Amino acid sequence: MPPGILTLAADKVTLSPANTGFMLISSALVMVMTPALAFFYGGMVRVKSVLNMLMMSFISLGIVTILWVLYGFGLAFGTDKGSLIGWDGHFAGLSGIGLTQLWGTTNIPIYVFAVFQLMFAVITPALISGALADRVKFTAWALFIALWVTVVYFPVAHWVWGDGGWLFKLGVIDFAGGTAVHINAGAAALGAILVVGKRIGFKKDPMRPHSLPLVMLGAGLLWFGWFGFNAGSWLNNDDGVAAVAFVNTQVATAAAMLGWLAYEKLRHGSFTTLGAASGAVAGLVAITPACGCVSPLGAIAVGVIAGVLCAMAVGLKYKFGYDDSLDVIGVHLVGGVTGSLLIGLFATGGVQSTAKGVFYGGGWDQMGKQAVGVVSVLLYSLVVSFILAKAIDLVMGFRIGADEEIAGIDQAAHAETAYDFTGAGGGAMARKGPALGETLTKKVDA
């Protein structure tokens, strides 16, 4: 992403209506990904906890939006402080930004860039929630989101994309968030579940998805929104790079879905819908860092490799005994690492960046840089997320009670249930005073 601020008057550049429109649409597309993720995850949990799963993603839209406006944008994209964090007073509250101030060389208003990046900040903590399904206090989760974006996401976004961020300066390629979003969220998921622990009945009770149609709907909407995520990350459509990113997003996702399905047909005998949806998401994750620097054929390779690797990786939790409920580690961490490292092999040097991968005569230099990006973000997020989760657990307890977990977190946390299976409609209303009908009658009489 081209960083830096330009001003209309000072630099005689003009606001581009085309780029601005493109980025507003891209921002809206990325926004859709968070509720899409909610349904992708929501379908995979049991009936008794689907609402909580939806809410864990949805609440991120509330919390992170406000924090982003107050200080998040400033920390991530303000003037660099020591390559580790940014800050700009006039970004606080987004109050010191003029309508005519433009971001970078792309001729889009700073407001547009800020809102586009906001959508990334919203979905990243929501991704973590899949690992904690069914068992965490909603208040503890909300606090975790607020703290996590503040001390993990905002700084890491600065490292990777901020002007002066140390990974940006090093030349690590992360087009749309392979490290900042997916590896970051996947590592955080691992850190958090090491504190929170397994669901009651893990590996003993059946925990089948309650609605695969919801999973497919969520995955489909994620795929749709991801075009804004990836193509929009070039911040303009002047030079064709966004178009390449768009094409590669489609191609890699298709390839990954086929790769995952082929693996599970060979391994387990069936082409499952959950496999198709998961494979597609794995491909989207893997192509995210690479979509601006590989060719469509390279994108096919990235997709197939990620699809198969992630399909293999989701079984690791049973082997190692950690309960990553909905495979955030298996899909987002493994997919993100795969895509980021494959840049070192498949970067063509002719699109977003001149850096070339091993297969295009570039040697191992870019692979080394990608590895630094992967390892540093992974370790930072893992350690800090573990500490945050531990602190929350000590102060207020991260988990709900065992009886509440067994009965279903929806009832305990939200006083709601997702579906009414009682033909007769349930019991009487628990309210004091006259029944609804009586009140209405009195009003009519008066």
Partner 1 sequence: MKLITAVIKPHRLDEVKDALQSFGVHGLTVTEASGYGRQRGHTEVYRGAEYTVDLVPKIRIEVLVEDADAHELLDVIVKAARTGKIGDGKVWSVPVDDAVRVRTGERGPDAL
Report d(CA 35, CA 58) in Å as an integer.
Answer: 6
Q: Is 274 in the site for partner 1 (CB under 8 A)?
A: yes
In 261-290, which positions are buried (b, 16+ CB within 10 angstroms) versus exposed (e)? bbbbeeeeeeebbbbbbbbbbbbbbbbbbb
Q: Which is nearer to partner 1, 264 or 405 (CB)?
A: 264
Give me the least distance between CB of 281 and partner 1, in Å please.
Answer: 12
Report d(CA 435, CA 440) in Å as an integer.
Answer: 9
Q: What does the DSSP 8-state code read for residue 294?
A: S
Give me the least distance between CB of 268 and partner 1, in Å please.
Answer: 5
Q: Which of residues 353-412 bind partner 1 (CB under 8 A)?
A: none
Q: Which of 65, 150, 272, 353 binds partner 1 (CB under 8 A)?
A: 272
* Contact present, 120 and 205 (Cβ < 8 Å): no
Q: Is 81 in the site for partner 1 (CB under 8 A)?
A: no
* Contact present, 107 and 15 (Cβ < 8 Å): yes
Please state, in angstroms and as integers, the Cα–Cα distance from residue 325 to each residue in 128, 158, 189, 317, 384, following that order.
Answer: 10, 30, 10, 9, 21
Report d(CA 152, CA 83) in Å as an integer.
Answer: 15
Provide the sign of the torsion angle of the four alpha carbons 335, 337, 342, 348, taken in this order. positive
Q: Is 42 in the site for partner 1 (CB under 8 A)?
A: no
Report d(CA 281, CA 366) in Å as an integer.
Answer: 25
Q: Is 146 in the site for partner 1 (CB under 8 A)?
A: no
Give me the least distance between CB of 325 and partner 1, in Å please.
Answer: 11
Q: What does the DSSP 8-state code read for residue 101?
A: E
Contacts of 396 (CB under 8 A, 6+ apart): 137, 139, 140, 143
Binding region for partner 1 (CB under 8 A) out of 29-37, 204-212, 367-375, 403-411: 204-212
Q: Is 209 in the site for partner 1 (CB under 8 A)?
A: yes
Q: Which of 81, 169, 267, 442 binds partner 1 (CB under 8 A)?
A: 267
| Size of the residue set binding partner 1 (CB under 8 A) | 18
Tokens, residue 65: 């939006």
Q: Which is nearer to partner 1, 55 or 310 (CB)?
A: 310
Q: Which of residues 278-297 bind partner 1 (CB under 8 A)?
A: 278
Q: Which of residues 308-337 bind partner 1 (CB under 8 A)?
A: 311, 314-315, 318, 327, 330
Give me the least distance between CB of 280 and partner 1, in Å please.
Answer: 13
Give the count of alpha carbons within 13 A of 415, CB side only.
1
Give me the least distance between CB of 179 and partner 1, in Å please.
Answer: 25
Q: Which is nearer to partner 1, 230 or 325 (CB)?
A: 325
Q: Which is nearer to partner 1, 44 or 94 (CB)?
A: 44
Q: Which residues bind partner 1 (CB under 8 A)?
A: 206, 208-209, 264, 267-270, 272, 274-275, 278, 311, 314-315, 318, 327, 330
